[in-house]
């Protein structure tokens, strides 16, 4: 037999064996009808590698009912993929030289199939600074049930990861976050907690492809319960959780982390009110974005009717509120709900001014029937110019939009408001007309600490710049528009107004003893997590909606100076003390007022003469 014939015969036999293996592996009827018993037994011999077509179809059905989530973390970037589409990325180095992606990243994906490249929410928390952990905890609390949650901690993320955030991450299902060390990377893919349900018949397999210095901590396919105050709380379902750990004592940063897992597609969130045609806009918003649980809840969601539900107050004049915002819709929503519930809100025009076309904020504002103006951003991200020009645009255009009003309230988006916020401005507005030496009424007080602030009815005159919620007149806005900080300057707008370049000389602001706003941001453009934690977080603000301000007539310049002079002359002198720390220099058996003379050689003398004023005079 020739070599060619042998080769052809062997190929024919091989083809027959392969065909037979496929047929027998599927237990096709032809196996019984066309082959004897000894050929049917080939399927039992695993060394011939028959294909189990039934299992293959099951696996194909499983893959069709799932999508892949992949998290990549290294020292330069973090990336999150849904199937082959990158839905989130953060990279770069900050001006201080630290990784621009350091901190905790939260990404929320729609659980329904065909989600494409859309993330319902993506936020970055700088938890290597204080205060941010509270914002992270609030974010997790705001998520809708049944969403696919991706949380990742880039090395240095746990430095100030406080108890509130750790507890909420454990509610989401994490079993490792409490033990994560500084400079170790971590990631988790989970489904946000829902009500108890029968375990799905679809058992998904989790594949975590990790680098050599990472490991899978847990893969949970159940919903364990947490007991909190005798109430049962259901944890999220974790599909994969992994960490890249530090192996050796001389290593300070873990290696890269690569986490891959498959998550089952579901029908997503559905509520009975979704069928209401009058709520279609709200339903579409809730299907597009996450982080709005009070708005999107299936049970008693907030509705745009909130816009007109606030109690009425006495209104002396129409004073609109300009809500300034840019890239933080979660701050805007928190403040919007706060404002719309404040007495007088239903009587007050509101204008939203967005720095850049942020679709989420625009849709949210219009959902509540608010008018929106969008500013074309000027300046690089993170630069002072960006904020400077947005404030200029907003202060100018609120008066253009409301040509009939004489005053407006300027409101940054990272503030919480007192229930008498609008009443406070209504009661003080007349002073801006009565005294040209008052240029603004400020809702925020830098001295609003529990040790020194006690009376919410009291205001004082101060030489300061507008800050964190303030009211000005049309005349002031027109004058300052011409003298605003130039675009090419690198200083901040508020300090510029306070400087010699401003038209503020000889003019004062009215400031309450107890503030009407509370700064609730952190790790922002001007307020770092350090400043928030050590300064603003300890401040107090008024919670009484019915405060009647006192002594307003004495705030005009002539009467204020006369009263101030009278109090100084009537005060008791403090005896000379060699050093204020030697003993309490304030009399412990008298209420005051007391008089103390301090020499200040220059206006900027902050460390010598002013030192004595900062001593806590308590035994």
Q: What is the pLDDT of residues 458-493, one digit of tens each?
A: 999 988 888 899 999 999 999 888 888 888 888 888
Residue 348: CA atoms inside 13 Å, Cβ hemisphere, count? 32
Lowest mean pLDDT among 50-54, 181-185, 324-328, 340-344: 50-54
> Using an 8 Å Cβ cutoff, are 215 and 187 in contact?
no
Question: Tokens for 414?
Answer: 């990272």
Residue 57 has pLDDT above 50, yes or no: yes
Q: CB neighbours of 303 closer than 8 A, spacing ≥ 6?
A: 279, 282
Lowest mean pLDDT among 214-223, 364-373, 562-571: 214-223
What is the rounded average pLDDT of the residues 499-524? 80
In terms of Cα–Cα distance, which of 585, 575, 573 is closest to 611? 585
Q: Which residues of 140-178 are buried (b: 16+ CB within 10 A; e: fewer)?
A: bebbbebbbbbbbbbbbbbebbbebbbbbbbbbbbbbbe
Residue 451 has pLDDT above 50, yes or no: yes
Record the pTM.
0.81
The whole-number pLDDT of residue 87 equals: 94
Residue percentage of the chain with pLDDT more than 70:
75
What is the rounded average pLDDT of the residues 529-552? 90
The whole-number pLDDT of residue 8 equals: 41
What is the rounded average pLDDT of the residues 217-223? 33
10 Å Cβ neighbour count for 10? 10
Distances (CA, A) of 177 to 167, 180, 243, 345, 535: 9, 5, 9, 42, 28
10 Å Cβ neighbour count for 510? 23
Q: CB neighbours of 163 closer than 8 A, spacing ≥ 6?
A: 133
Q: Beta-strand (E) ranges in 432-528?
A: 438-442, 459-462, 470-473, 508-512, 517-519
In terms of Cα–Cα distance, which of 212, 189, 232, 218 is closest to 80? 189
What is the rounded average pLDDT of the residues 566-581? 76
Q: CB neighbours of 3 closer than 8 A, spacing ≥ 6?
A: none
The whole-number pLDDT of residue 607 equals: 56
Residue 360: CA atoms inside 13 Å, Cβ hemisphere, count? 21
Distance CA 288, CA 141 (A): 18
* Chain-centroid distance, C-alpha 561: 44
The whole-number pLDDT of residue 491 equals: 84
Residues 254-292 pLDDT 10s? 678 999 999 988 877 789 999 999 999 999 999 999 999
Q: CB neighbours of 113 closer than 8 A, spacing ≥ 6?
A: 65, 67, 265
**Partner residues linked to 10 by β-bridges:** none
> pLDDT category, 93, cuts 50, 70, 90?
low
Residues 131-175 pLDDT 10s? 889 999 999 999 999 899 999 998 888 889 989 999 999 999 999
Distance CA 457, CA 557 (A): 19
DSSP assignment, residue 111? S
Which residue shows structure tokens 């009003």?
Answer: 405
Q: Which residue has the higher pLDDT, 531 or 324?
A: 324
The whole-number pLDDT of residue 527 equals: 78
Residue 398 has pLDDT above 80, yes or no: yes
Residue 107 has pLDDT above 90, yes or no: yes
The whole-number pLDDT of residue 43 equals: 55
What is the rounded average pLDDT of the residues 365-391? 92
Q: Which residue has the higher pLDDT, 306 or 576?
A: 306
Lowest mean pLDDT among 88-97, 206-215, 298-307, 537-546: 206-215
> Using an 8 Å Cβ cutoff, are 520 and 444 in contact?
no
Burial-class residue 612 by CB neighbours within 10 Å (0-12, 13-18, 19+): middle
The whole-number pLDDT of residue 283 equals: 95
Q: Which residue has the higher pLDDT, 268 or 397?
A: 397
Q: What is the DSSP string of 360-428?
A: HHHHHHHHTT-EEEEE---S-TT-HHHHHHHHHHHHHHHHHHSTT-SEEEEEETTEEE-TTHHHHHHHH
In terms of Cα–Cα distance, which of 343, 303, 207 is closest to 262? 207
The whole-number pLDDT of residue 603 equals: 63
What is the rounded average pLDDT of the residues 40-65? 69
Q: Which residue has the higher pLDDT, 432 or 10?
A: 432
Residue 579 has pLDDT above 50, yes or no: yes
Q: Which residue has the higher pLDDT, 67 or 496?
A: 67
Lowest mean pLDDT among 60-64, 384-388, 473-477: 60-64
The whole-number pLDDT of residue 617 equals: 40
The whole-number pLDDT of residue 591 equals: 77
In terms of Cα–Cα distance, which of 460, 414, 451 is closest to 555? 460
Q: Which residue has the higher pLDDT, 553 or 269?
A: 553
């Amino acid at each position: 037999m020739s070599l060619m014939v042998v080769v052809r015969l062997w190929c024919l036999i091989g083809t027959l064996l392969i065909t037979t293996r496929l047929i027998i592996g599927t237990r096709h009827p032809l196996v019984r009808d066309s082959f004897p018993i000894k050929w049917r037994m080939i399927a039992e011999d695993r060394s011939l590698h028959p294909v189990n077509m039934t299992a293959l179809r099951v696996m194909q059905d499983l893959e069709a009912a799932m999508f892949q989530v992949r998290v990549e973390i290294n020292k330069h970037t973090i990336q999150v993929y849904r199937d082959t589409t990158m839905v989130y990325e953060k990279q770069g180095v900050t001006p201080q030289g630290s990784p621009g992606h350091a901190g905790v990243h939260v990404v929320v994906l729609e659980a329904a199939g065909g989600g494409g490249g859309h993330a319902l929410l993506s936020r970055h928390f700088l938890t290597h600074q204080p205060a941010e952990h509270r914002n992270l905890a609030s974010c997790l609390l705001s998520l809708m049930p049944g969403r696919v949650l991706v949380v990742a901690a880039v090395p240095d993320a746990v430095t100030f990861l406080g108890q509130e955030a750790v507890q909420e991450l454990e509610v989401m299902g994490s079993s490792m976050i409490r033990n994560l060390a500084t400079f170790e990377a971590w990631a988790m893919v989970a489904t946000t907690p829902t009500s108890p349900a029968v375990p799905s018949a679809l058992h998904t397999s989790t594949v975590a492809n990790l680098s050599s210095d990472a490991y899978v901590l847990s893969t949970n396919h159940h919903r364990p319960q947490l007991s909190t105050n005798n109430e049962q709380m259901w944890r999220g379902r974790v599909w994969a959780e992994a960490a890249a750990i530090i192996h050796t004592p001389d290593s300070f940063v873990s290696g890269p982390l690569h986490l891959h897992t498959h998550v089952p597609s579901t029908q997503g969130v559905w509520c009975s009110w979704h069928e209401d045609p009058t709520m279609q806009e709200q339903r579409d918003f809730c299907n597009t974005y996450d982080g709005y649980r009070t708005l999107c809840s299936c049970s008693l969601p907030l509705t745009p009717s909130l816009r007109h539900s606030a109690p009425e107050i006495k209104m002396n004049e129409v004073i609109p509120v300009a809500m300034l915002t840019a890239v933080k819709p979660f701050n805007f929503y928190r403040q919007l709900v706060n404002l719309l519930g404040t007495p007088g809100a239903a009587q007050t025009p509101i204008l939203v001014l967005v720095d850049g076309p942020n679709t989420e904020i625009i849709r949210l504002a219009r959902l509540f029937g608010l008018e929106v103006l969008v500013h074309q951003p000027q300046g690089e991200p993170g630069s002072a110019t960006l904020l400077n020009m947005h404030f200029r645009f907003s202060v100018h255009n609120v008066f253009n939009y409301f040509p009939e009003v004489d005053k407006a309230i300027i409101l940054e988006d990272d503030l919480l408001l007192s229930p008498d916020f609008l009443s406070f401005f209504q009661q003080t507005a007349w002073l801006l007309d009565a005294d040209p030496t008052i240029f603004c009424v400020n809702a925020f007080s830098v001295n609003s600490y529990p040790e020194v602030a006690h009376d919410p009815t009291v205001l004082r005159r101060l030489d300061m710049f507008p800050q964190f919620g303030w009211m000005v007149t049309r005349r002031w806005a027109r004058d300052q528009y011409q003298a605003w900080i130039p675009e090419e300057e690198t200083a901040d707008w508020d300090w510029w107004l306070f400087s010699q370049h401003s038209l503020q000389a000889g003019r004062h602001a009215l400031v309450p003893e107890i503030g009407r706003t509370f700064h609730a941001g952190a790790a922002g453009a001007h307020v770092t997590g350090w400043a928030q934690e050590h300064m603003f977080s300890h401040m107090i603000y008024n919670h009484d909606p019915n405060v009647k301000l006192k002594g307003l007539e004495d705030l005009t310049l002539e009467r204020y100076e006369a009263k101030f002079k009278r109090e100084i002359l009537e005060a008791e002198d403090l005896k000379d003390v060699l050093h204020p720390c030697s003993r309490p220099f304030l009399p412990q058996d008298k209420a005051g007022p007391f008089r103390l003379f301090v020499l200040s050689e220059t206006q900027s003398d902050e460390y010598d003469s002013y030192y004595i004023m900062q001593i806590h005079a308590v035994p």
